[in-house]
Structure 1
Amino acid sequence: MFGQLKERFRGLWAPEPALKRMQLAPNEQTDNPLMLQSFTWDTLHPTLSWWQHVEQEIPRLAAMGVTQIWLPPPNKGANQTGRGYDAYDLWDLGEFDQKGTVRTRWGTREELLSACATARKHGVDVLIDAVLNHKIGADRCESALAVPVNPQNRLEETGPQRTIDAWTAFDFKGRGEKYSSLKWNQQHFSGGLRRPGSIGTTNRAKVACIGYRDLVIMDGPNMPVDKELGNYDYLLGIDIDHRHPEVRKDLLDWGVWILETTGASGFRLDAIKHIDYRFVLEFLRHARTTLQWPGIFAVSEYWSSDLDAVLPYIKTWRGATTFFDVPLHSNFHNASKQGARFDLRRILDKTIVQSFPNDAYGTITFFGDVLHLKCFYHKVVGQSLESWVGAEFKLHAYAIILLRAGGHPCVFYGDLYPNAECGDPGVEKGLPPLIEARKRFAYGPCKDYFLERNCIGFVRLGDSKHPGCVVVLSNGKPGKSHLLRMFVGKESANATYRAFLPGSDARITIDSRGWGSFPSSDNGVQVWVREEFVK
């Protein structure tokens, strides 16, 4: 279906802008909006729960300019250290004794709600990470009918239907029927992966890798999802059947309940390429309609570096959600690996932010936590994924997403805070000034000067309340300097511009026509601002 849509609609119409209709910051905020992904995959605080740590940091983050905090999945996972992506019970926020713990990895329900209340008090919106694709950690096995399929082509059956012991019964004895009375069983799932010892599968299986579908009610290809591997409905664990009426009601009710309970302003939607796209639209529409809040924020994780793969979703969903700009992340990754061999003029090529700037979620998030998550997913299903962005290019990438127009940037906790998992001292030192430059200067029309292979720049011309700025990025060999001639506006004729980032107090003078020649810096990133606005 999506392949046909891609050909039919390519270039004929653009989707309705998503960002313009969504809440990116509390209404009273007038500065540039900014999101923080407030967790990493492994890092925990030595003395506080993670919710307590986040709450403690909120005043500082709000002062920096953060307007949204993306929380990790708040639900109970399959074990005591589960991050929530191993979703066991969405309705358990750290309240019930289930899976050997009352609290989640991140803390208790009370601590979560306290952190959310503090965020609202300081003018910071909260986003919930919604894991709607699968469940893991079933309470017991059931006998189920299954058809083995080729894991590289899920539409190809490799044997006859058979009875298996499937981990598909979720009883939630610790929670009982509080919040929801649904007890999940085999009729609520569409498939899984049989592999010895894997979570949520049968331990009796002696076959190395057999996928199965048609547990009870399915008698043909799965729902409309991404066509990778023939049909990419299955990712890991036990795959949820979003066509079942009881499933739909439970998840739709949860979406409204979690926003009302936490006071959150929207969702980060996990693994949408594996979910019936019609259900995702219904999920968002139901929350917005029920709560009478059309501005509920949503960003979807569709993991593909191929712009053509995500285009049909962007166009079909017509502004219902923003999208992580994975193609942009892929360009950042390539730039960090290739060094001076990478042509910076191509950094935005075939990205969402270039094609649809009002739908792109230009993000650094993939440098850390989400990449850990995707590696976990792909390790489970027998694949591999590697697309780290090296520290030597991270500040370049942050300058692009934080200071250019278009898209909605997200800062990653692991780049802002010292940590043994993925932190880098140079990035930790250089990132806060870029965030400050976004808050104070990066406003108004944007003019790109992508003129040299190893040196590019852009100018933000400012608005009635902000002075604007000039950004120069270079990736040439050490010791080689560049000059970019850029227009900053006739109103800045004969003005002095000063380097804003720490480590340099260089100055240049704009000519009488509003043009200036801006040099590159030793570390490859510099922001220039009129001297009278630099404190």
Structure 2
Amino acid sequence: MLSIAAINPKFNTMILFSNRNAWLYLTFLFIGLNACSSEMPLEEPQATEVANQRLSPVPASGTVMMQAFYWDVPAGGNWWEEVSTKIPSWNHAGISSIWLPPFSKAQNGPYSMGYDPMDYFDLGEFNQMGSVETRFGSKNELLNLINTAHTYNIEVIADIVINHNSGGNLEQNIFTGTNTWTNFTPASGKFNRTMYDFHPNDQHTHDWGVFGGYPDLCHHKTYVQDWLWKTDYSVANFYKTIGVDGWRFDYVKGFEPWVVKDWIHHNGGFAVGENWDGNAETLEWWANEANASAFDFACYYAMNDAFDGNDLNKLNSDMLWKRNAYKAVTFVTNHDTDEIWNKNLAYAYILTHEGYPCIFYSDYEEWLDKNKLNNLIWIHNNLATGNTSILYTDNDEYVARRNGYGSAPGLVVYLNNADFWQERWIETNWSNTAIKDYSGHSAWMPTTQSGKWVKIQAPPKSYSIWSIK
């Protein structure tokens, strides 16, 4: 048995339970009853109704994140208003933060997804790059969205693109001997840039990475640092004044991790970096150097191999959340990559394990069963506590236990990738205690033995999640 000691009170232990009603934590003891009988027939049970309401407002730091966009959301300036209408239901489901796309004016104006930034201070109020509004809407609509999110105690995470810029004018570049698109005179009148602010320049020729041939910002320049994060007139401080609570840093392979660390030092807030690397050790190194969280690509690729490759032993692989759950943002898909087909098992995995899970907008609103996702969010926010012990794996079975924290009970999750019902004896956190499947997939309500053992089951290509009744 592999035990992973990484209790995460910020994201899904102590904070989550500080405001919960006491009834959730009571353990009902039944002395003398055996666990689920081995003679119980293995047959498809009737689904049971599972409570799916929040007991109290979820704290606004580190519970479940919603990526509130997908690639090529409808153009026309209505996206901020669309997302605003979702906030009440997302709050009711247990979402505690929303990650918004880059919201400043970009080169492609009303058609841009924001990853080609031109004017960081134009949030949809200046007539440049072919429009006043951005693809997503106006500045006032953005501010209304942020205020609505805060009304419901939901944090706003801004997508920050600071590796590269786009939309500048041509200038004769003395460092390249050619004409380059490095002369930026944004309509906001803030953060004008020239060849001296990009690579190569009079300070050095390059940094860690260039993206798409765009002009590559030089973060060693004091002028660039001051305008991006160090001063009261910086981009970071401007975003803070409109209500931004945290940061998602795009393409962090393009600049050194000290940039993110210094940004957080001057401005605070939760931060997560997109370090697109499947090596858990590399992710941990970057997160430590940047003093930030990282998207757990190691977990993502392991889930793809496990669920789509029909080998759940792959879930024994090294992942960032196993090394440091405080630093791991887990996810099933995002706007850039969508490889996992068996998403139901993947969401059951990230919403019962340690780390800070992120749900993709299209999965939640369009592609998957919203009620099942809401149920998993409820389970995550109310039951998924303590460190993790992996109890059993084979090609199509995976069983893990969250060991609870304080009075919080923990859970057992059983993932079944086979085409038929399966059952297994496992060791729980509880002796002589009635338990049930909070996913509603199994009607069994067994009682654990005095030695904490019990038999549980899981439906084909699905999961069950067990905790105290």
Instruction: Please indicate the TM-score interval, normalised by the length of the shorter structure.
Output: 0.7 to 0.9
Structure 2 residue runs of 5 or longer lacking an equivalent are 1-5, 20-56
Q: Matches of residues 79-98 of structure 1 in structure 2 within 5 Å?
A: 79=108, 80-98=110-128
SS at the partner of 1:132? coil
TM-superposed CA distance for 1:327, in Å, is 0.9
- 1:189 and 2:155 aligned: no
Give the direction of change, closer, same or farther, for the CA distance of 1:111–1:30 in structure 2 (3 Å limit).
Answer: closer
Q: Structure 2 counterpart of 1:34, which letter?
A: V
TM-superposed CA distance for 1:123, in Å, is 0.9
SS at the partner of 2:173? strand
What is the rounded CA distance, in whole Å, between the counterparts of 2:253 and 2:461 in structure 1?
38
TM-superposed CA distance for 1:108, in Å, is 0.6
TM-score normalized by structure 1?
A: 0.72
8 Å contact from structure 1 (residues 235, 274) kept in 2: no
- After superposition, give the CA deviation of every residue in 1:217-259 in whole Å (9 maximum; x if it has no partner): 2555x23x3xxxxxx3455411111122221111111111111
TM-superposed CA distance for 1:310, in Å, is 3.1
What is the rounded CA distance, in whole Å, between the counterparts of 1:500 and 1:188 in structure 2?
55
Corresponding position of 2:301: 330
Corresponding position of 2:164: 134
TM-superposed CA distance for 1:448, in Å, is 2.5
What is the rounded CA distance, in whole Å, between the counterparts of 2:391 and 2:94 in structure 1?
27
What is the rounded CA distance, in whole Å, between the counterparts of 1:487 and 1:124 in structure 2?
34
TM-superposed CA distance for 1:165, in Å, is 2.0
What is the rounded CA distance, in whole Å, between the counterparts of 2:425 and 2:100 in structure 1?
40
TM-superposed CA distance for 1:444, in Å, is 3.9
Corresponding position of 2:238: 257
Of 257, 262, 265, the residue aligned with 1:282 is 262
8 Å contact from structure 2 (residues 330, 356) kept in 1: yes
- After superposition, give the CA deviation of every residue in 1:293-324 in whole Å (9 maximum; x if it has no partner): xxx1111111111234334323434xx21111
- After superposition, give the CA deviation of every residue in 1:98-147 in whole Å (9 maximum; x if it has no partner): 11111111111001111111111111111111111110122x21122456
Corresponding position of 2:32: none
8 Å contact from structure 2 (residues 175, 202) kept in 1: no
Give the direction of change, closer, same or farther, for the CA distance of 1:501–1:104 in structure 2 (3 Å limit).
Answer: same
Give the direction of change, closer, same or farther, for the CA distance of 1:311–1:57 in structure 2 (3 Å limit).
Answer: closer
Q: Structure 1 counterpart of 2:96, which letter?
A: T
TM-superposed CA distance for 1:268, in Å, is 0.7
Corresponding position of 2:459: 521
TM-superposed CA distance for 1:428, in Å, is 4.0
Corresponding position of 1:229: none
TM-superposed CA distance for 1:402, in Å, is 1.2
Larger RCO (alpha carbons 8 Å, 6+ apart): 2
Corresponding position of 1:449: 391
Corresponding position of 2:334: 368
Corresponding position of 1:3: none
Corresponding position of 2:89: 60
What is the rounded CA distance, in whole Å, between the counterparts of 2:69 and 2:82 in structure 1?
10
Of 408, 415, 422, the residue aligned with 1:473 is 415
SS at the partner of 1:101? coil
Corresponding position of 2:51: none
Corresponding position of 1:487: 428
Of 265, 269, 274, the residue aligned with 1:301 is 274
After the TM superposition, which of the residue ranges 324-333 and 236-245 deviates more from structure 2?
236-245
SS at the partner of 1:273? helix
After the TM superposition, which of the residue ranges 303-312 and 347-356 deviates more from structure 2?
303-312
Corresponding position of 1:316: 289
- 1:168 and 2:182 aligned: yes
Q: Structure 1 counterpart of 2:305, which letter?
A: N
What is the rounded CA distance, in whole Å, between the counterparts of 1:439 and 1:219 in structure 2?
48
8 Å contact from structure 1 (residues 361, 407) kept in 2: yes
SS at the partner of 1:56? helix
Of 329, 338, 344, the residue aligned with 1:395 is 344
What is the rounded CA distance, in whole Å, between the counterparts of 2:288 and 2:103 in structure 1?
31
Structure 1 residue runs of 5 or longer lacking an equivalent are 1-14, 148-162, 191-213, 226-231, 289-295, 372-386
- 1:37 and 2:70 aligned: no
TM-superposed CA distance for 1:64, in Å, is 1.0
- After superposition, give the CA deviation of every residue in 1:268-304 in whole Å (9 maximum; x if it has no partner): 111111013332222221213xxxxxxx111111111
SS at the partner of 2:282? helix
SS at the partner of 2:392? strand
TM-score normalized by structure 2?
A: 0.81
SS at the partner of 1:489? coil
Of 431, 440, 443, the residue aligned with 2:382 is 440
SS at the partner of 1:39? coil
Cα RMSD for the two superposed structures: 2.8
TM-superposed CA distance for 1:370, in Å, is 3.3
Give the percent of matched residue pairs that are identical in Structure 1 and Structure 2.
Answer: 24
Q: Structure 2 counterpart of 1:501, which letter?
A: S
